[in-house]
Every structure is written in C-alpha cells, then in structure tokens.
Amino acid sequence: MRKIITGICLLFVFALVGETQAQNFRSYQTTTEEISYNTRVLDDGRTIVQVVVSTIVVDLTPNPVTAESTVSTNTKTQTLFLTSAAATDLKAAIAAAGSGDSVISQTVDSEIEDSDKIKDTSGNNLTSITYVEIVNGVPTFTPVTGGLVETNDVVTTERLEFTTIVKEVKAIVSQD
C-alpha cells in the first residue's frame, strides 16, 4: 500500500513539474494602420497622388518565469503612385469599409487595379518618381522609390530584480 501511495505522489510531482516546464505564455498583438495621400508634381509636369500605407504589428510576449518580455515589431510600408481619380475612389472605399485592424490594407488590395497606377512612357507602372517642390522659391527635385518595404525588429528585455532589506531594531517586550 505504501508503494502505491508513493507511486501516486511521484506521478503527481512529475505531472506538476512537466506542466510548469511546458507553459505557453499569452501573447498580445496590436495592429495599427495609417494612410497618407500626397499630391506630387512630377519633373515632366504630370500631377499624381503618392499613397503611403503603413501597417505596424506589435507582438508582446511576457514570460513570468524568466522575467523577460519579447516585443516583435513588424512594419510594412507600401508606396503607390496613383491617378487623382483612383486616390479619390480609394478614400471613399476606405471610409465606407468601417474600422478594423487591417481595413486599410485590405481595401487597398481589393480596390487598386493596374489601370489606377501611373504609367511611364513605355506603359509600365512607375516604381520610382522624381517630384518637384518649391522651397524658398527654388525648385527642388526629390526622388522617391515605390513598392513594398518590410522590416522586423525583435527586442527582448528583462525585468529588473531588486531586494529591499529593511532593518529595524525592536526592543524585546516581555510580560513576565
């Protein structure tokens, strides 16, 4: 009988230790999207709209056992060169789509077609532009490359541990 009780206790201890080692920690994720519309005058005189969609996904995974937290930040920036009519239609479609984590990027993917993008003289989509800005009366030519840029940053931080020792001298009080 003693062996059975000892065996059950050992089984309980092994299950408890195994469960402690195999924990999956909760991960928190937030997604933020922004879109900007910039009207640009190209060096050849055409007016276009530069649309920049930024999607930032942040994953936070705290680990209470090791006191470390891991933060993974995925940033995706998409630059499109659109006609004015396509940009206006895109603004209306995003406004009608409502709100959500990835409404802007989903709407851009579903609404923008090849015919909405600015073409070069050969009929190909522009992948980079040079636009003109007037700064203090002087024309400045600024190059911009379009397309998709993705970055991933992972940062692991450890929680600071400290010990506070308070030493108070107390007199011994006896009722005897």
**85 found inside a domain:** yes
Per-residue pLDDT of the chain (176 residues; tens, 9 = 90+): 788 888 787 777 776 665 544 456 678 888 889 999 999 888 888 888 999 999 888 888 887 777 778 888 889 998 989 888 999 998 999 888 877 778 888 888 888 888 888 888 888 888 888 888 888 888 888 888 888 888 888 777 766 665 666 677 777 777 76
**10 found inside a domain:** no
- The CA distance from 36 to 53, in Å, is 7
- The CA distance from 87 to 49, in Å, is 7
Please state the pTM of the whole predicted model. 0.68
- Residue 30 makes CB contacts below 8 A (sequence gap 6+) with 57, 58
What is the number of domains present in the chain? 1
Domain enclosing residue 83, as ranges: 26-158
**9 found inside a domain:** no
Looking at residue 37, its pLDDT comes to: 92
**2 found inside a domain:** no
Sign of the dihedral defined by the CA atoms of residues 90, 33, 109, 29, in that order: negative
Looking at residue 163, its pLDDT comes to: 64
